[in-house]
Structures are given as C-alpha cells and as structure tokens.
Amino acid sequence: MKFKVKLLGIEAGGKPIIVMDDEYASLMGIHSSDRVEVTYKKENAIAIVNVAADFPKNTLGIYEEVRTKLKVQSGEEVEVRPAERPESLSYIRDKILGRRLQGSEIKMIVMDVVERRLSDVELASFVTALHIRGTNMDEAEALSRAMVDTGQTLDFGKAPVLDKHGIGGVPGDKATLLVVPIVSAAGFTIPKTSSRAITSPAGTADRVEVLCPVDLTSEEIRAVVEKTNACLAWGGALDLAPADDLFIQVEYPLSIDPLLLPSIMSKKKAISADYVVMDIPAGRGAKIKTIGEAHALARDFIELGRRLDMQVHCAVTFGEQPIGYAIGPALEAREALSTLMGEGPVDLIDKATSLAGVLFEMVGINNGKQKANGLLKSGKAEKKLREIIAAQGGDPSIKPDDIEMGDKTAKIISEEGGRVQWIDNRAVAQIAREAGAPKEKAAGVLLRRKLGDKVAKGDVLFEIYAKSSQKLDAAISLAESLKPMGITERFGEKMLMDRIPTKIPHEKPFILER
Amino acid sequence: MKFKVKLLGIEAGGKPIIVMDDEYASLMGIHSSDRVEVTYKKENAIAIVNVAADFPKNTLGIYEEVRTKLKVQSGEEVEVRPAERPESLSYIRDKILGRRLQGSEIKMIVMDVVERRLSDVELASFVTALHIRGTNMDEAEALSRAMVDTGQTLDFGKAPVLDKHGIGGVPGDKATLLVVPIVSAAGFTIPKTSSRAITSPAGTADRVEVLCPVDLTSEEIRAVVEKTNACLAWGGALDLAPADDLFIQVEYPLSIDPLLLPSIMSKKKAISADYVVMDIPAGRGAKIKTIGEAHALARDFIELGRRLDMQVHCAVTFGEQPIGYAIGPALEAREALSTLMGEGPVDLIDKATSLAGVLFEMVGINNGKQKANGLLKSGKAEKKLREIIAAQGGDPSIKPDDIEMGDKTAKIISEEGGRVQWIDNRAVAQIAREAGAPKEKAAGVLLRRKLGDKVAKGDVLFEIYAKSSQKLDAAISLAESLKPMGITERFGEKMLMDRIPTKIPHEKPFILER
C-alpha cells in the first residue's frame, strides 16, 4: 500500500520507528509493534510500526532513523508492506521456554539486535529470559563471538596484548590509572578501553577525562598505542561489541545483568587481548559477596577466555570498602596522580601493584608484584602516565592541585567514638552521586577514616564536595539518613542490624558497571 | 531544571513519552527510559524519557499523551525533575527472581500498568517473567481483582447475570450468536461483551458487527439489556479491565499468553456475572490438545471463579475442525442467522444448545439442552436475536442473503478421493486471514466438506471469498502450500506426517484470542 511521507524530525533513540494511523493500519492488518518493509525508490528499510489514533490518514510518519536509511523527503510516496517476523524471534521464544540456543541462533539474535530489527519489547523479553533461564558456557561463548563479530575490532600489530578489567561495584576504584602506566612502563602493550559510569559515581573513562581527552577514534587510539604502548580511552564510541550497549539499555531499567560474562569478554576480544587480569572485588557491599562466589565466577571467566583464545587470570580483591579515600572523577584522578607521584593510600598501591604483578607473571616475569612496585616507586609509571596524557591531548605537566574540586563542601562528623567497623559501599556511592558525580566531575566524597581507624566523637568521617549548595544539601541529608560508616568499640557489639518495617527497607541500588 | 516545550503533535501509542537532548539529559543524570516529573503551572505528569542526540538543547519534546495531561503549548516553560522509580518495579524484579507476589504488590503493578507508569521494557519483562515463573491461584486471583478494580464495572441491577465465554482457537466458532439469544429468550439476563479478532479471522464482535453496531457505550448497553435481557457488544471501548489490553500489546509480539485466566475472569467479573459457562475446545489444532489439559484448565477456571464469587462450569468441546462451514465475519454471521432461522450445521447447533443447556442447568432448569433446542426450533431465539439487533441499531428484518460476501471467489479442488480425515484449523484460519478477514468482513473461507465426508477427486473442498483478486490469489497460493485438509480412504494410512528440513517447518501461528 502507498503512503505519503511526513518527516517527524525527531530521533526515536536509534530505533527504526514509523507512525501510521489506526484506520490504515487496520486495513493492512497491522498492529503496533508489527514490522513493515518501507520502500522508496531503490532504498528499503524494515521499520517497527507505532499505530496512532490521531494521525493523518494514509500518511507515514517517519522518524530520523528511517529517513536516514531511505533518504526520503516529506510529501513523497513510499510503498509499505507487512514484513516477516524476524527468524530470531522464534529463538527468543525458545529461550523463554527454556531451551538452550545453538550458536547460529544466538548469532542471528545478536545480528538482529545490532541491526535494530527487534523492538524494545522483544529485547526486554530476551534479556529477562536469559536472566531467568541462565546461559551455559556454549551460549556464553556464542554470545561473546556474536558480539565481537557484529562490531569493530582493533588490532595493534603488537603481541602480546595485555589488559586489565574489573567487574566493578566498589567505589573509588582508580587502580586502572596505575596498572596501565605500570604495565606499559615495563614495555608491554596495554590498550585499555573503559566505560563511563552507569550506576556508579565514576567510571574509569570519567576519571581519566579529568586528566586528558578520552573520546578517541580507533585511529587516534592506534597512534597513542604506537607512541606509548598504552592508552586510557573511552570505549563507548568505538563500536566494539555494539550489541552490548543495546542490551544495557534494557538491562538498566530492569536492574538485571545476565550478560556480564559475554559483555566483558567480547570487549576484551575486540581489542585483541592475549592476557587479561580480571579483578573480582569480593565482600559485603561488593557485587560478589563471598570467596566461593568469586571462585565460581573466576572459573567461568577463565573457561570463556580459553574458548576465545585469551589467557585470563582472576584476582579476588578485598571489596568491603572504597579503594583509597577519594570517590568521584576529579577527586579520584587527583588521588591516582598523587599515588603515582609517591604519596598514596596503602590499599590502592597494593591493589594496583598486585594486579600489574599478576599480568607480569602471566607473561613469564618472576616476582611480578615486586617489579610493579619498582616501576611505581622509581617514577617510571608516573612518567608513562604523563606520556599517555600527552599523547591523548592532555597537559603532561598536570599536578594534583591543578585538578578542580567542588567548592561547596561539608564535613560529616562522627556522633560516637570507637573504630570504623564497616563502610557501606553502596551508601558512599549514592552520596557521591547525590552530590553530582559522575556528571559533575568535581563532585564526590573524600573519606577521612577507613576500616579499623580510630574515631573520636566529633571527628570528621568524610567530606562531601559539590558544585551547588542544593546538591550539597541533598548529599548531606542522604548521608545523614544512610549513615554509611559504622563506629563501635568492637565489631559485633551493635546487635540490631535492621528493623523492618519500622525502618523502611531501601531498594538496593543496582550496580550495572562492568 | 527548566525546559522549553516543543509539542511534537504525535501520539506515542498511549505512552507518556517526552524527548530530551542528550547533553541536558546527561546534565540531569537521566538515561533513556528513566522517568521524570514534568510540572506546568498546577498540572504535573510522570513521563518516560527518550534521549535524542539531535534534539534542540534545553527543549522538551512533548507527545500528545503528555500534552493532554499538562495542557501546555509550544514555547512555554516547564519544570523537569527526575522521578522516583515506581515501587512496582521492585515487585517485577521479585517476580523475575521467582518470588510469589502478594496481592497488594500485584495491585500496585496493575495500577502502574493502567496509569502508564511502566515502560514497554518493564511491561515486557513482567509478562515474560509471569510466563516463565507461572502464577499460582493467589496471584491469579489478585491479578483478576486488580484488573477489575482499575477499570469500569457494569451492574445491570438484575440477578442472576449469566455469561458464556470461549477460550478461542477454533475457527468459525459463531456459537455465541446462538447461545445469547437462546438464553435471553428464556428470560435470563446475558449481557455479552466480546472482543475483535487479534490473531484469528473473526472475533464475536466482528461477526455481530455484520448484523448491527457493536461499539456501544455503557449507557447504550444498559438500555439494550434493559429492553432485551441481552446484548452482543464489543467490550473494547468499555474500559472493562483495561490493564488486559495493555498486557495484550506486549503479549502479542512475544507470542505468549501468561494472563489467560485473569484476563478472561476479570472481564466476566467486571460485567457482574454470576454464572459462567466456559467453552474449552480441545483437540489437535485447538489451543488445548488433550482432555487432560482441558480438565486442568477447567479446575483453574472453576477455582478462580469461586474466589471471585462466580459459579463457573466448563464445557470441553470438540475442537479438531472449524465449527460449521463458514469462516470470516460475514460468512459466519450468515451461517448463524440461517441456523437460528432453522437451517444450520449439526455441530454448530449441538455446540450452541449444549452450552446454553449448561447455563440453564446451572440456574436449576432440568434438561437444559432440550430446553435450548426448543427455544431454537420454535423460532423464539431468532426473534430474540432480531430484538437485540434492533436495540443495538441494526435492521431487525435482515435476511442471510442480504449479507454481502466477497465477489472474488475461488474453489479449491481435491486432488484425490477418499474421506476427509483431518482439517488443520490453523491453516484454515491463515487462509481466511490471507483472503482479508477479519478487516474485510466479506472475506473468508467456506468449507464444502467436513471431517468424515466422502470426497471424489475433483470435488470442491472449500471456497475462498475475497474483495480483491490480489488477496484472493495470495489466499489460493497459501491454500496450495498449506493443504489444510487431509483426504485418504482410511485414517492412519498416510504415514509420513512431516519431513524436516526438506519441508521447512513453519512457525506455528500464535493464537492470542481469549
């Protein structure tokens, strides 16, 4: 059936949507969410139909995504035909029913996801079914490969390629800003791509961006790696495993993350990694609560790595409190830079040198951690970070004090004396976000006490930094209600942990970071 | 944050969507699918955000749904604030994780569905989780009650109210057009509301619409029932259990139907039914394949009815072939009218009088079927149907030959002799849909042979009616490829039932009809 085009001049968030009036939709036997094939001259596009009651008859409302594909103008005529349901839909249905999917079936689903042939409803159903039914290792491998194959890959012509990844969940984790310069200072190639924060107060890309640009093209990354053996780039614009970004768009509102393994491993494969150290923070308040869970996940990472020709070692790290003292992009960049310059928190140094050490040992160097420590102490790692900053277009002589912090600040005071017995990671992260992080880089939380530290009544437990008094006030009142630090003389003496429903149980914030 | 309104002048299919540029979304820490509260003067609305890359900065694109709520004009200023995630989202998440939901939790989900506070992604995930995890009877009851409570209810001030419902799946099932006049001819109240076809060639509302208007308001229905003790109305515009229509919008693309029981029973409860006969067609090619399955479903209907204060009896009916000979709205209306006038197929008469008979016996009349037969044979049921037609605004003197049938016709001929051993319901339905039904009322299929009938080579098996030669040709070629009737001398002599993959397995069309 022929329709007259009306350009709507709006994007539909990447989805190929067209709008049709209900009468003509009904004539064609088309329902909302059905797919149609729209043909204009020699171009054609598969689009998903929105049926509207008050839309001009026999007119096709076209969003930008479809206009770009068809190169059509308002007033022109297009042919519209009902399109077949994509084959992948029957595999999604199979997964709903609990069947294990074949590699070729998974490939078809991922291709249809990337080519936007599946609606949000179908994608949400697939992700939900994956979450409930689970994926076995064959499926995880097929998902990883399909995600790599439907995106760009980077090959640096250097071997071996080393990489570091953390599954996230612990605030203040700026270890990557140390591991990358330490490893590359030893002459190894470590082209690190990172994401921005989704649910946390800072992602590695947000932290690095305080020091230099991170939004590099593949060519720019290649040039930076050529020059410095390393990079600290944002992976988001590189089209590495683009299916993952589309999955994240539905996982985030649903607070589920069934694609953790394929998501991470496909991104490692897409940058041609040979050796990967995988950081799994464990403990109360981390994503992984127990060493046992950490081991199970580690086995899966190692096995999936093996299937994808990558050697993976996992490091289970202490995840019961933030790493270092700083939480928020600018505060963390400062702390990382200071640490490379010789003054930093013990736990951050220990974590970074341990992870770098694991990578060194994977490629045959003895006493890896000792070597990492040497590179840090000698200033070689600092020099390397400055080379990377320069190569990415930042100021290589940047000093910690050059980094701007929020000028609205507040000190949170202890109401009792004792020792810090626990720190609630999620509460700290929420407070930093309430203060404006990660969007406002200068916002965040600076701890003044950590686990085991002595506290007197009236001591400062932590400081909040914000750009506006409004956000500062919001963060203060959140801090007062969440009470993220537990102070007692001895652990285990405060017996009442929670009281329900007198204290309304907060929904636990969901950590999507990978 | 303040935004300038840009009215988009398009509906978003009932969803409260607003569009925002990515830079300002990022400033506010808002992702696509997040909810915001938009305030204009004293009005405010919760809306779901679409983030667009190329949208004017600091401008809020407003779809019709939100404009109607806020009564705002282009260029005016509104205040936008991030909104809380609805509490119901955490219950959806609980269901994903496999927890049984409390009544109050289900109520909150259904309220948020009806008030459009949940996005398509969230709704799809809920329906998928319901399908995989299942619902127990407590949940089904809570879903039914919540669906009733969030919609309109009709009370006719008469008791008892009788009703008939079929779970669908068998083409040509026009029994309702006989049951309603038979039951009301006996003096009982039976205010029947029906749906239009979703995946089938005709729904009861489509059939009745050939005889008289069906799109009545609640007041019109009340008047018709007052006058005739009955009605045959379309339920779609009455806002009875409106959540169901929103669930259907996501169930349909996913081809799943986890809400069958609450969906049906909430609509019965909403019209204040006291006694319900539930038709469960069983057999190959029906929704329910075996008597055992039918019994399990019947027990659930009866128990759910008991919990909702309705007495339900279930009738398991033979579902292995279409009812009567006609498939398609006009063809079926003709056949129903002829049957009421004294000439009709044995199976249709048997089904309609059996179902009416069950209702009679439920209210204490002995030999219900005999009574139903008497009302049919005496012409009292015909007279009653004509009263209903008149009361709904149709022509009470309509004759079968007045009903227009498609003027493009084709006869499908048997290539062999024998007897009709099977008829593929789904194939017959698909052919009728391909011919144009239900949108083109005059289109459909007219069987010339049914199960057990003798067939000689060259005999007509069925005829196809269409309004255009194009649709007729499409239906003919579908008929040739699907071969909906099996002709052999004796059942079970043709041994090869399917060959895979030489014959590519068709995806079975999904039956959503309730």
User: Looking at CA atoms only, how far is residue A94 from chain B in angstroms?
Assistant: 11
- What is the pLDDT, as a whole number, of residue B506? 56
How far apart (Å, rounded) are the C-alpha atoms in residues A194 and A279? 14
CA R_g for chain B: 25
DSSP-derived secondary structure for A487-511 = EESSTT-------TTTSPPPPPPP-
Task: Sort out which chain B residues have CB atoms less than 8 A from A27's CB and list them.
Answer: 439
**Banded pLDDT at B503 (limits 50, 70, 90):** low
Query: What integer pLDDT is reported at residue B508 of this predicted model?
Result: 67
Q: Say what the pLDDT of residue B507 is.
A: 62
Helix (H) or strand (E) holding A409: strand A408-413
Distance between CA atoms of A220 and B428, rounded to whole angstroms? 61
What are φ and ψ of residue B418, in 5° steps? 145, -140
User: Cis link prior to B160 (omega < 30° from 0)?
Assistant: yes
Of B430, B422, B415, B508, the closest CA to residue B475 belongs to B430
pLDDT greater at residue B483 or residue B13: B483
User: Using CB atoms, which residue from B19, B50, B96 is nearest to A128?
Assistant: B96
User: Given this model, what pLDDT does residue B28 score?
Assistant: 84
| Entry field: residues in chain A | 514
Q: State whether A27 and B61 contact (CB < 8 Å).
A: no
| pLDDT the model gives residue A33 | 82
Residue B147: both structure tokens together: 């669906």
Q: What is the pLDDT of residue B490?
A: 83
Please name the member of A31, A55, A64 whose beta carbon is closest to the beta carbon of B54: A64
**pLDDT at residue A10, as a whole number:** 87
Cα angle at B149 between B144 and B154, to 5 degrees? 100
pLDDT at B23: 87
SS3 (DSSP) at A413: strand
pLDDT at B305 over 70: yes
Which domains can be identified in chain B, with CATH numbers?
2-82 (2.40.40.20), 88-134 (1.20.970.10), 408-488 (3.90.1170.30)
| B255: chain A residues, CB-CB within 8 Å | 89, 93
Q: Which of B90, B120, B122 is nearest residue A507 as measured by Cβ atoms?
A: B90
Burial A147-176 (b: 16+ CB within 10 A, else e): bbbbbeebebeeebbbbbbbbbbbbbbbbb
pLDDT in tens, B247-289: 998 998 898 999 999 999 999 999 999 999 999 999 988 999 9
Contact state of B254 with A26 under an 8 Å Cβ cutoff: no
Question: What is the complex's ipTM, to 2 decimals?
Answer: 0.89
Other CB atoms within 10 Å distance of the CB of residue A131: 22
Catalytic residue among B34, B112, B163, B257: B257
Give Cα separations from A392 to A376, A404, A442, B29 (angstroms). Answer: 21, 20, 21, 26
With CA atoms as reference, the chain A residue closest to B118 would be A253
Contacts of B120 in chain A (CB under 8 A): 119-121, 124
Nearest to B51 among A8, A13, A50 (CB): A13
Within 13 Å of residue B466, how many CA atoms lie on the same side as its CB? 20
Residues A254, B93: C-beta atoms closer than 8 Å = yes
Return the structure tokens found at B446: 């007219």
CA of A17, closest CA in chain B: separation in Å?
11
Judge contact between B226 and B254, C-beta under 8 A: no
> A256 to chain B, minimum CA–CA distance in Å?
8
Residue A12 is predicted with a pLDDT of 85
Determine the Cα–Cα distance for residues B122 and A251; give it in Å rounded to an integer: 10
H helices of B78-136, where? 88-96, 103-114, 120-133
DSSP A234: E
For residue A120, give how far its alpha carbon lies from the nearest alpha carbon of chain B (Å): 6
Asked whether the beta carbons of residue B249 and residue A32 sit closer than 8 angstroms, the reply is yes
Q: Which of B85, B254, B507 sits opposite A125 (nearest CB)?
A: B254
- Contact status, residue A471 vs residue A436, Cβ threshold 8 Å: yes
For residue A23, the model assigns a pLDDT of 87
Q: Do A96 and B133 touch (CB under 8 A)?
A: no
For A369-393, letters b (16+ CB in 10 Å) and e give bebbbbbbeeebbbebbbbbbbbbe
Query: With a cut of 50, which residues of chain A have pLDDT below it?
Result: none
Residue of B nearest to A201 (CA): B29
Q: For an interface test with B, give the residue of A19, A121, A200, A206 to mutate (most B CBs within 10 A).
A: A121
Write out B331-354 in H/E/C secondary structure.
Answer: HHHHHHHHHHCCCCCHHHHHHHHH
Is it the case that residue B505 has pLDDT exceeding 60?
no
Alpha-carbon distance B461 to nearest alpha carbon in chain A (angstroms)? 27
Contacts of B254 in chain A (CB under 8 A): 92-93, 96, 121-122, 125
What pairing do the DSSP bridges indicate for beta strands A454-455 and A418-423? antiparallel
State percent of chain B over pLDDT 70. Answer: 98
A 10 A CB-CB count for B362 gives 18
- Residue B17 and residue A262: Cα distance in Å, rounded? 32
User: Per-residue pLDDT tens for B145-186?
Assistant: 999 999 999 999 989 999 999 998 899 999 999 999 999 999
Instruction: Take residue B126 and report the two structure tokens written for it.
Output: 């809920």
* Among B201, B351, B196, B367, residue whose Cα is nearest residue B280: B351
Give the chain A residue whose CA is nearest to the CA of B97.
A132
Q: What angle do CA A72, A74, A76 make, to 5 degrees?
A: 65
| Closest residue in chain B to residue A35, using alpha carbons only | B253
Computed on alpha carbons and rounded to an integer, the radius of gyration of chain A in Å comes to: 25
- Tokens coding A310: 């990558």
Is A257 a catalytic site residue? yes
Residues of B in contact with A13 (CB under 8 A): 32, 50-52
